[in-house]
Amino acid sequence: MTTPDVVIVGGGIGGGALAKNLAEAGVTVLVLERTLQYTDVVRGEWIAPWGVPETKAVGVYPIYLANGGHHVTRHVSYDEDVAPRVAEKAAFDLTTLLPDNPGPLCIGHPSMCNLLNQAATAAGATTLRGVSNTRVTPGSPPTVTFDHDGKTTTLRPRLVVGADGRHGKTAEQIGAKLQQDDPHHRFSGMLVDNVPQWREDTQFISVEGDVNVLAFPQGGGRIRLYIGFGLEQKTRLAGPQGPQRFLEAFRLKSVPGSEAIAAGRPIGPCLVYPNNDTWIDEPFAEGVVLIGDAAGRNDPITGQGLSITHRDVRIVRDILLGEANWSTDAFVPYGAERKERMRRLRISARIAAILEAEFDAPARARRHRAAERRRAMAPESLAILTPFIGPDALPPEPYSDEAVAAFLA
């Protein structure tokens, strides 16, 4: 096998988008993908308003839009202690948050992976599927060894990109220091079909009883649903009845029309995982750089994963196409930007978890006090906007310990 300039470990969103961009610029790229087929593994299908320009910057927005991409333009925050008409009156237009922005973009995760794989191949990248036992060693050049089609191959490209997700091994193999906070609650998602009654332009969240629910229309009567619930409820969605119990959580007094969602048809798995953040302050080593979830992920309660990954792709692409010498030092600015980006997103996600996924009486009172501060646009409340407007739209002050404490006090 001819040694390429770049080997990308992982052919998901980050790997596929970066392979497309590099191949279009004349860089030889080999993508190593473990799976033979992309499946629904309950990953994000919502690109935040701030992430949409990142998809445009890396040239994938037209691909998404032409193949089922669906913009959501209206957001409603329901609550068990707020009359639905009051919540709907306070609904906000998602297209007004950022200049010339069409609002969040929803598209199925497996579809995105397939589209990016096709685009990368069309641009000249090579993808191997069914790869196993991938081992990466930093160096100048780095070494990547893998098994495919009954053969073991070792390559020494100029650069290895770790894009193998949260369960990948590249970060561990290069000695990257993964940090994480404690899980706050459990989170589950499921794709549901046959819900034509729900407005396809409207996403919503609500807190009622012992659940935090979120819904993001995908178009064509499909909705990607999520629920958050207490860590102690380990078996809440276990067993063959789990999907039905998941849907029953959407029979909500606080959300008019939610019974239509509860009557929908599950068309994907119902997986449960703990909510927490992980991060790597230096997502690179000699000859290796990490992107996407492989470099650390945000608590999924605010749905930032796809936006984070597309920005990673843009920054790393620009470094590689702008630097003749792909040294470790070239990735220091990427590491510094990502460190601060993830810190701010981590703070906003923790605020969201405290406000939306705690269910006792003090939590309800805290949620209402925070809502009042948010409606008044109190300075200490601004960090709650981060999942929509992005981690670099605000000054540092809303992310200070003092501001967060004042907002949640």
pLDDT in tens, 293-317: 999 999 999 999 999 999 999 999 9
Residue 290: closest CA among 2, 5, 18: 18
Nearest-10 Cα torsion for 216, 68, 384, 375: -70
Calculate the average pLDDT of the chain.
95
Q: Is CATH 3.30.360.10 what the domain over 71-100+185-274 is classified as, yes or no?
A: no
Tokens representing residue 185 in the block: 């609650």
- pLDDT of 40: 86
List of the chain residues with pLDDT < 70: none
- Sequence ranges of the domains in the chain: 6-62+107-180+277-342, 71-100+185-274, 358-408
Angle (nearest 5°) at CA 113 between 204 and 224: 20
Can you tell me the distance from the alpha carbon of 409 to that of 405, in angstroms, rounded to the nearest whole number?
6
Query: In whole angstroms, what separates CA 261 from the centre of its chain?
Result: 23
- pLDDT of 70: 94
Tokens representing residue 146 in the block: 């893998």
* Contact predicate 63/115, CB 8 Å: yes
Residue 142, phi-psi category: left (phi > 0), alpha (psi -120 to 50), beta (remainder): beta
Please provide the distance, in angstroms rounded to a whole number, between the alpha carbons at the two ends of the chain. 61
- pLDDT of 44: 76
Can you tell me the distance from the alpha carbon of 246 to that of 265, in angstroms, rounded to the nearest whole number?
11
The CATH number corresponding to 6-62+107-180+277-342 among 3.40.50.2020, 3.50.50.60, 3.30.70.980, 2.60.40.10 equals: 3.50.50.60
Q: pTM here?
A: 0.96
Element (H, E) at 128: strand 126-129
Give me the sign of the Cα torsion angle 161, 146, 110, 117: positive
According to DSSP, the residues that pair with 108 across neighbouring strands are none
- pLDDT of 407: 93
Residue 246: closest CA among 221, 260, 225: 225
Query: In whole angstroms, what separates CA 229 from the centre of its chain?
Result: 19
Residue 192 phi/psi, 5-degree rounding, is: -125, 140
| DSSP at 360 | S
